[in-house]
Chain A
Amino acid sequence: MAENSNGMNRRKFLTVLGVTGGGAAALSGCSSDSVEKLIPYLVPPENQVPGVATWYASTCRECPAGCGLHVRVREGRAVKVEGNPDHPVNAGRLCARGQASLQGLYNPDRVRQPLSRTADGKFEPIAWEDAIAQVAERLGGSPSDGVRFLTGHEAGSFDRLVDEWLAAFGSRGRVAFEPLGYEALRHANRTVFGIDGLARHDFAAADYVLSFGADFLDTWLSPVEHARGFGARHGYRDGHMGRYVHVEPRLSMTAMSADEWVAPRPGSEGLLALSVAHVIVRDGLASTPADVHRVRPLLDRHVPETVAAETGVPADTVARLAREFTAGPSVALAGGMGIQHAAAHVTAAAVNLLNYVAGNVGRTVRFEGTPTGRPAPYSRLVELTSDMKGGAVRALFMHGANPVHGTPPGLGFRDAMQAVPFKVSFARFMDETAQACDLVLPDHDPLEQWNDFETRPGVHALQQPVMQPVFDTRATGDVLLQVTARVGGPASARLTVTSFKDYLQRSWAALQARVGDRRPFATFWTEALQRGGVWREPSTQRVTLAASAGSLEGSSTWRLPEGRLALIAYPSSALYDGRGANRPWLQELPDPVTKTTWTTWVEIHPETGAELGIAEGDVVEIASDMATIRAQAYLYPGLRRDTVAVPMGQGHTAFGRYAEGRGANVLHLLDAEPTAFGGVATYTGVTLRATGEHAPLPKTEGKPRQMGRGIAQMVTLEELARGEGHGEHGAHAAPVPERIEEILDHWQEGQDEATKYGAYEGEHPRWGMAVDLSRCTGCSACVTACYAENNIATVGPESVRRGREMSWLRIERYFEGGENGEPFEARVLPMLCQQCGSAPCETVCPVFAAYHTPDGLNGQIYNRCVGTRYCSNNCPYKVRYFNWFDYQEPADPTFAWPEPLHWLLNPDVTVRSKGVMEKCTFCVQRIRDKQNQAKLEDRDRLADGEVLTACQQTCPSDAIVFGDLNDPNSRVSALARETRGYHALGELNTRPAVTYLKKVRNLVEG
């Protein structure tokens, strides 16, 4: 399609409209048949009005959590994804990775057609029919176990289809490998409870959260669901809030929300959990189930006093934790990949026991039956690799997995692939694994395909194509069926369906019978499609201790080798295991903790850094027994001195322009040998060496501390209960004499009077926002949502180094304490345009590009802006962003949306050109949209909560509330009046429309 707007004329415009209209016509029939004719808009397709968005329900497949999606489609193109409000997992919210799924769909580095490797090792396009014939020929008719199929985590019809398809060829060689497979948790659930599966944690029911390294707001299991429950229970409300204690050598993003951080010696978390359990049982703090006697001997060995030497946590802290843990409904969590050392299964088992003795199992920790589709542990992948090396594998199929990048190189997966004569990848991107394959048969993007996903027992979610495929790709399910049809014979006899959609509908017909729905299938199907799936309340399994519960195998601690530093390789909050690395939004999303983008860093405690002569930005060599990698140093006080941490996800050698050649792959440092529980140990001992090279880190943070300026404010629960901590405590925290107070009041009155001049006539709304810092976790989903909604350009690492990132909304992260023995704390605060009532930016603009709208917004007229940048100088919040380059010009090297990435641009929002200032508009396009709608419906005013800004809409913990401040009954007015409310830099008299509610820390014992 011609996309060059410069060359747009009437005829071309109509052509484009016709083509997109055709796509839309196909969509309204929910058909994936390709449209070959250009259909002009003479007869508009039903439900497709130009300029009016259509929403489709689907399921997010960016991680195994499986959140529900609503995809906004305009003129046949998906332009925004949002959470499905009806979905039981995410209830309308999404994380940053989910928001960025559009950049997978429109990624310019997608494999655009089937590719075949030629003799000289290059890839050449090949026709689908030829590719399928090639696969069919290779497989032949004879059944053989030499066919292997490696997939990612699948749970639903595709999962079954792959198994059946393999069976049709006489193979049972299926491996479902998920890099973050939580093998330790699964292992512990098997040993302690005899259950093969993962538990569901009910944060909304837990007053007390004790996390042993679980980054449950970050990547652990189902972060969006956790954040929702955690925000509801831990967030301050009417004098109450939960308490959260985090146990880990590192203060992760999740731990930034903790009320207390306990940093035990790395590898000893399990002992700590066992000693807490010991105290509970010893002191009879909870009514423990009867079968606890089976683990008494184990618990009795872990007396806090003796364990203290090992963990470095004093015995009275353990006793206190035990008392707090049993004071009310609580939940203990065991780390995912964050603390997955060789003894991680012991930690997980110990946490299971802790939950069990406290009576949490069955209440806040629930097992809800066996889910379909379980990922195999890493050890299965090791077996597969040795099979491959041994020549037992004749043909290898791979879908949704990138083991070459996602496993330690010691495994030798790439070499093993050489030994396989026929390798087929269904990868959507040319990643490291696909590069080593003979055939690449690109799958549809999850947003282009039919599928389903059983997120957890009882939650059957559907995926439906929301638009025509962007490229010449095919759904892998269809390809598999076409292969069997081509092979014919017994193979095709076992799989009689012709398309994957039919296969899917058959399994949904069976599901309909299972759920006891007696309506016609078409009704059931349509309704499921509209809702996004079918969900039932699952039954909670009764859980008792297994026979093996009392005998934890293996060493119960992992010991750091002498003279080494403990390395934590943790999943990146934005890039996950590395699959997000080709999304520029995620690459440019500042890490919630270090605020670094586009590269790999190593977090080092400042004192350790000083000892080793390492400063921020220094290039450091990190050496383990396996390998050496290089990363830039970030000095982080939120670590133990004997620990360093490196995020996963970078160091790609393939995977497209945004991923390639950035940072290093931390997995290189890890031992490929599977641990006792069958996973990869993400902990290892390393040494650091400064290389003498230095480069500024591409980070968005200026100064890490707020210099007592009271920008991100905090109050303790105790202070609130005492009636303290109210009002504004900005830079002028000192008590003010009464006389001065009077003068200030008088001055304020004068100011109030003065601001009336020049105000608009008539009644208008005053749009405002309240941000509850006791709920905000810093997860940064709002940041990516803002990028998606407002067509914000990504600028790349060089520009980030120069502070030129364009994020209208940023999460500021400030460190507190951590020096002179004070406890270390990190606070976060979403900083966006405060839409000041008395805005410093407006008066200084010589051309009125910055002006005040009647509804109180600080408008910015892009096409009037000359670019003096005075507004930005005068903005105390620094929330104005300048277009230093032309990010919208395809001919420029700085073009931010290479074809077809620009398809995701929101048609309701201008794409800004070089030399103009831009800023947060409170999603003015959404406000106007709802106002127009209200006008059509003859309503004068909008209902409270009718307008949702993009950041508010996606916030997993519901920290952001938007509405009309002039309406005293609106939610935002009520929050703005709260005693915790303050304005950032309020003493400047800018009269912000954003009220922050102070973070509350629950330091109260018990």
Chain B
Amino acid sequence: MRQLITFIRKEFLHVFRDRKTLLMLFGLPIAQIVLFGFALSNEIKNSHIAVVDYSKDAVTTKLISKISGSPYFNIQRSLAGAEELNAAFKKGNIKMAVIFPAGFGDDLIHTGKATMQVIADASDPNQATTITNYLTNIVNDFNSDLAQDASQPMQIEPEVQMMYNPELRGAPNFVPGVMALVLMLVCTMMTSVAIVREKELGTMEILLVSPFKPIYIIISKLAPNLLISVVNLIIILVLSDIFLDLPVKGSLLLLVTGTVLFIMTSLSIGLLLSISAKTQQAAMMGSLMGMMLPTMLLTGFLFPIENMPVALQVLSNLVPSRWYFIIIKRVMLKGLGFESVWREMLILTGMCVLLFTISLRQFKIRLQ
């Protein structure tokens, strides 16, 4: 036991004395999250929008002038019909369109309720969310004005539609993506490099010719990376809460459990890589090419998996981050419980156990 603790201490010394790598390990997630945070928090002013008014009554005129009076919007044109909208969106002239159906004012006065349509260009999901929120605020404002004047309750409901990217893939996808990527990178690359470094240095020879058991070597190599990854997880969660307004909606314990499962799986992959890699460079390239790319492409945060060719969809099942991505999205963003992620967790557990067993068996007790 004392041997193991000393060994783990030594591994931490390696990590802390390599300042450059340390900076990269913690700087990477922070930089990504903060950069993205700023991109999000940018206030959007003078967005060009189009208005189609089929009703042309007192209410719509009043509301339109309220919208155009706000500093956020700049009514580019008042179109005659919805047919022209598509062309305008495609040209990129307008970011959003507001459509009042015929009889809007009558509906409002007689039924106390009217629906307006809001269509936003969601190819830039952050901007689309922001400007539709602005518009909804203006309409809510208008509603309370109405409520003060009128004797009966009147309510205008904006019906928001996102064009081109209805699921608004963006911030909520980005954070789980960064988490999967960073954890995969740290765990896989650092682990494989740490073991290969001992081989390159020649210290592995001495370690092998010692009473120290191979399993201890493996555990000691994994320990610092596990800790670094957990710290990284905390940093990402705190930053995304502060900067991106993305708090953990579900159980934190469940999220951490899922993350640790994913970390262990990534560590096992790193271990497996280190066994076949002869140089640190090879280990690095192996983790970059072998793990980073599949993680980025087949996880589903850059490209939706359901849109991929069947072969790639099948292949994506083998990528651990794909399952982890689902767990974070459900637990962190949607606040769902264990019953909705147990399958993914089971898959990760299976992968972890399988990979760890293989690498343990493959671990060479002699030189090649």
Instruction: Say whether A and B bind each other.
Output: no
Q: Footprint of B on A, CB under 8 Å?
A: none
Q: Footprint of A on B, CB under 8 Å?
A: none
